[in-house]
Amino acid sequence: SEQLSSQDHYDYGMRAVIAVLRAAGNLKRKHPEECEFVLTLRAIIDVNLCKFLAHDVPLFYGIVGDLFPGVVLPKTDYENLHAAVIDQCTARNLQPTEYFLTKITQLYEMIVVRHGLMLVGETMSGKSSALAVLAGALTDLHEKGLNDEKEVIATYLNPKAVTMGQLYGETDNVTQEWREGVLGLHFRKLANMRETHIRKWLVMDGPVDAIWIENMNTVLDDNKKLCLPNSEIIAMTGLMNLIFEVADLAVASPATVSRCGMVYMEPAEVGWKPQFKSWVSEARVMYGNEAHDRLSTLFETFLPASVEKVGELKKISPAGEGNLTASLTRLFDATLKDLITGYENSSDVSNDAAHTAGIASDESESSVVSRYLNPPITAIDASFLFALVWSVGGCVDTKSRSAFDTFLKSAIASKTSSLSCPETFWRDESATVYDFKISAPKGAGVERLHGIAWQKWIDSIPAQARIIPKDLPFDATIVPTKE
């Protein structure tokens, strides 16, 4: 604890020691002939490694290496589990990276040892996906009769979406009747399931604070009993787990932290590539192979450098690499589909719902997909640059826009030989990249997109719309601007 960094979710108290002893006991029963030094080292690593940040991991290995010199750990056999996890990732269009597999394995090990645990990490670190994939993998193993695994039933709650009374239950001030809370209702439902082949997970997906989490201390203790305000006590069963999915533990008390096992997931370790690969595999079906190859080149060329540049600038709100990637892919899809369908040139907005869904009432799904196939490179490049400006570049404040504008124009200038972008977009010294929109010929269809161009937002406003009548009431005055 003196050598590693100080984090809100680190705990080295007696409860952490008990968790190591339990893990060691489980390993001893599973491998009675194995050397106890090996089992102890394995238990220490399994319980503690999963909560450390990336920069603390090498130091931790150095510490345990000094404590157990010459002890070499045999590789744990998770072949069946990893195979099931990879199958689940494939079915859910997720990327089974080495880091993701490692975290799922650590999550599984923690679920076996602790009945209460926390998945800690910022948005887009893969917490929800890890839980869903592990639940599906364990259920698959149960159905195949492998590893003596159990089926998983998971119930999700957001504790901050309701009041304390709605969460734990309360007495009506007028009638004095007891009103059941959602936590007690679902906790009792899972506790009353006596099947021995089912794992029950109650997942609390939301911020942890000292107001509602302190009431969970009795159930997170070795007592494993939930005490409700009406004096009802509900005991957990053996295959039941309380899982908290949180961004951080900045306001959680040390008492709560010490009662839970920790699995920490870092967005920086996930990166943007897994998310992009999942999206671009769907883009291949939607837009074709040529578009897939072009998008791969564009993302590799511009996204990492743009995210790094934005990290140096002041942002309006925090946005990580994963958030920016998600914004970029969604905005690209919306922009390109609007260009193809001609929606941005249409004055008829009566079919908004059908357009948003991307499918008309009289069209099959295959015909809708074919509508978007093989867009020209000019349309792909334009949609990507427009999406890049308003996703990655859109999160910075007004003063920082000029710096991002300079960076992006320089990046485009260095790639003009391979990028189909007109000079009006990146050579105009009097305007920034934020001042332009994509203009396409009227109509619909892919072929007409060979004639797309860049146009200033202000130029898209009709001249007559810029004139404000003298007799117009002040409260009805709308001043069009380039923003």
Evaluate whether 107 touches 134 at the Cβ level (below 8 Å): yes
Sheet holding 240-246, edge to edge: 151-157, 198-205, 240-246, 116-120, 261-264
Average pLDDT over residues 33-51: 84
**pTM, full prediction:** 0.83
Give the three-class secondary structure for 214. Answer: helix
pLDDT digits (tens, 9 = 90+) for 18-38: 888 888 888 888 888 888 888
Distances (CA, A) of 258 to 55, 160, 173, 239, 255: 22, 22, 36, 21, 5
Q: Which two tokens stand for residue 145?
A: 């009769």
CA distance 320 to 125: 10
pLDDT classification of 182: cutoffs 50, 70, 90: very high
419-428 per-position pLDDT tens digit: 777 776 777 7
Give the pair of three-digit tokens for residue 455. Answer: 């146009």
Q: Quick check: 236 pLDDT over 80?
A: yes
Which residues are within 8 A (CB) of 373 and not within 5 positions of it... i.e. 6 or more apart? 286, 287, 288, 446
The pLDDT tens digits for 291-315 are 899 999 999 999 999 999 998 998 8
Cβ within 8 Å of residue 158, ≥6 positions away: 204, 205, 206
Q: What is the pLDDT of residue 387?
A: 94
For residues 53 and 59, the answer to whether their CB atoms sit within 8 Å is: no
Confidence of residue 1 (pLDDT cuts 50, 70, 90): low
| Average pLDDT in the chain | 84
Asked whether the beta carbons of 385 and 355 are under 8 A apart, the reply is no
Helix (H, G, I), strand (E, B) or coil at 359: coil
How many CB atoms neighbour CB 457 within 10 A? 15
